[in-house]
Amino acid sequence: MTDLPMQIGVALSATAFFVFVLYLAAYRPVIFFGFLFVLFTLVWRTTSTAFIDLTGPVWSSQTLRYIGPGLATPLHVLAYFITLIPFLMLLRPAAIAAWPDGADDRPAEGSTLTLSTATVICSAFFLTYLFLTLVHRGPIPLFAHIERFVYTAQYGSAAHRWAMRYANFLAFWWGMMFAAERLRNRRTDIRFLALLIVLLAYAFLTGSRFSAFYSTTSFFVIPIAALIAVTTRNHRSRLPFFWIGRAFNLRDAILLGAVFCVAGTVTTVAIYNNLVSVRGYQNSEISTHFIERVLVQPSELGWISYERVFSFGHWHPERVYDFLFQRPLDLHKNTTPQLLMLEAIGEPRTHEHISGGFQFAGGFPEIFFELFGPLYAWPFIFGAGYIAAALTALAIRGTIEGRYASAFLSLYVLFGFDVMYIGGMLNFVAVRTYWIKIGALAVALMLESTLGRAGLPLTPWAIIRIPLFDWLRSKFRSNLSIGSIQ
C-alpha cells in the first residue's frame, strides 16, 4: 500500500469518528453527556493517533524513539465504534422515553430541608475548610510553582487528599442535585454551579492542570443527561441540537456557558503556568513541549503496542495476564501502563517512573489486543462497552426517577470502566473493594424497588420539616409588603 492510500484511510477513519461524536452531540445528547468523560478522551486520542500516523516518524521524548507512520487510527477508531454500539442500543430514544413514567418528581414543602439544601450546606463547610487549610498550611502551589503531586505528597492535608481523590464523585452528586432541582422544582439552582466554580478555583490554586478541570466538569454534567431525557421525551426533530431549546432557556444557557468558559480559561492558564512557571520552559520550548503533550504523548504507547502486535505479530497473552494480575511492578496501581511502558522503554526506566508516581498515558484499546490478541479482543471490547452503557443508563435513569442511591452507586461502579477507557486499567476487577461496590449497588437497586412499591424512597428528597423556614419566609414577605406600601 502506498503512502497516499494509507493517509487517506487514516484521515477518513478519524473524520468518521469525529462526525459520529458530533452526531451524538446533535441528536443523541443523552449518550453524549452521559459518556462525555470518556468521549472527550477518545476524540483526543484519535487526534493524537492520526497525527502520529499522518506525520510520522515523530520524536517521542518519553520513549526516546521515533514513532509512525502507520495505520493505528483505523484500528482504534473501529474499537471506539464497537464500544459505543451498546450505548445506541440501551440509550435509544424509545427506551429513554419510558423512564419518567416511574419518576418521583414531587417537590418538597417550603419549610422542608431538602437533600439539595443539605448538600449545599455540607459542601460549603467542606470547601471553606479546604481553603482555610490551604492558607494555614502553606505553601500555595500556584504561587510557589509546585507540581500538584508534590504538594499532595508533602504539604496537602487529609481533606485535600480526600478532595483530590473523590472530586469527581462530589461533582457528580452536585450535578445530580442540580438536575433534581430542575426536575422537581422547575428551577435552575445556581448554588451548585457556584460550588463547582469554587472547587475548580481550589484545583487551580493547588497546581492542577487539565485533567482535574476536565474530569470534574465532565462528571458534573453527566446528570444533565437526565434533564435532557425528560425535556425531550417523545420529541424528535431533524434539526441538529434541537434539545438545547427544549432543555434550557436563555438564562440557563448563559449560566452553563459561563461555567464552561470559566473552566476553559482556568485550564488554559493552568497549563501555561505549569509549562512556564513550574517546568521552566521558555520561548520555542513552550510550544514544542505543548504540542508533544497534546499530540504525541496521549497515543505513543498505543501506537508502539499497535506496531508490536499488528505489524510484528508479537503478543504473549500468558505473560501479559501474569503481569497484569499477578506479578506487576506495583500491584496497587494501574498495571496496564506498567506493562506498556515496560515493553516500550525497558525495566529500569519503567521502575523508576512507577516508583516515583509517574506513568505514561494510554492503555485502551491496546491492552485488549495485548491480552486477547488481534482477533479475540473484539468481543471483549464490545462486552466492556455493553456493561459501561448499562451502568450509564442506570445512573441517568436513577436521577430521573429520584433513586439517588442507585444512581450514585452506578456511577461509582462505572468509574472502574472509565479508568479502563482513560488509562487501560484492567486490574480493577481483581480488587475486593470493587466487588463490594457492586454488591452495594445490587442492594440499593433491590431496596429502592421494594420501597418504591410502598411509595417510599431509599434516599429521601425531603429530609425534615423546619418551622423556622416558614417563619423566615413569612417575615421576609411581610417586610417586603411593608416596603412596597411605603
User: pLDDT at position 1, please?
Assistant: 46
Percent of the chain with pLDDT over 90: 67
424 conformational bin, left if phi > 0, alpha if psi -120 to 50, beta if neither: left
> Does the pLDDT at position 99 exceed 80?
yes
Cα within 13 Å of Cα(445), Cβ side: 13
User: pLDDT at position 472, please?
Assistant: 54
DSSP secondary structure of 345-372: H-HHHHHHHHHTT---S--TTHHHHHHH
Residues 6+ apart with CB under 8 A from 196: 171, 174, 216, 217, 220, 259
User: pLDDT at position 477, please?
Assistant: 53
**Identity at 199, one-letter amino acid code:** L
> In terms of residues, how long is the chain?
486
Q: Looking at residues 273-287, what average pLDDT do you find? A: 80
| Among candidate residues 383, 380, 400, the one with its CA nearest the CA of residue 448 | 400
- Helix count (H) and strand count (E) of the chain? 23, 4
The grid coordinates of residue 432 equal 475486593
Domain boundary assignment for the chain: 3-467
| Distance (Å, whole) CA 483 – CA 79 | 66
| Distance (Å, whole) CA 365 – CA 383 | 13
User: pLDDT at position 481, please?
Assistant: 46
The grid coordinates of residue 378 equal 473484539
Q: Residues of 408-436 as b/e, b for ≥16 C-beta within 10 angstroms? A: bbbbbbbbbbbbbbbbbbbbbeeeeebee
> How much is the mean pLDDT over the chain?
90
Q: What is the pLDDT of residues 293-335, one digit of tens each?
A: 899 999 999 999 999 999 999 989 999 999 999 999 998 899 9
| Among candidate residues 374, 254, 387, 228, the one with its CA nearest the CA of residue 314 | 374
Residues 6+ apart with CB under 8 A from 254: none
190-205 vs 158-185: helix axis angle to the nearest 10? 160
H or E segment to which residue 215 belongs = helix 210-221
Q: What is the pLDDT of residues 208-228, one digit of tens each?
A: 878 888 899 999 999 999 999
pLDDT greater at residue 56 or residue 405:
405
Alpha-carbon torsion, ordered 263, 269, 271, 275, to 10 deg = -170
* pTM summary value: 0.91
Give the CA angle between residues 88, 89, 95 to the nearest 5°: 105
How would residue 85 be classed by pLDDT, with cut points 50, 70 and 90? very high
Q: What is the pLDDT of residues 411-451, one digit of tens each?
A: 999 999 999 999 999 999 999 999 999 999 999 999 999 99
How would residue 388 be classed by pLDDT, with cut points 50, 70 and 90? very high
| Distance (Å, whole) CA 210 – CA 267 | 5
- Report yes or no: 426 and 437 within 8 Å, Cβ to Cβ: no
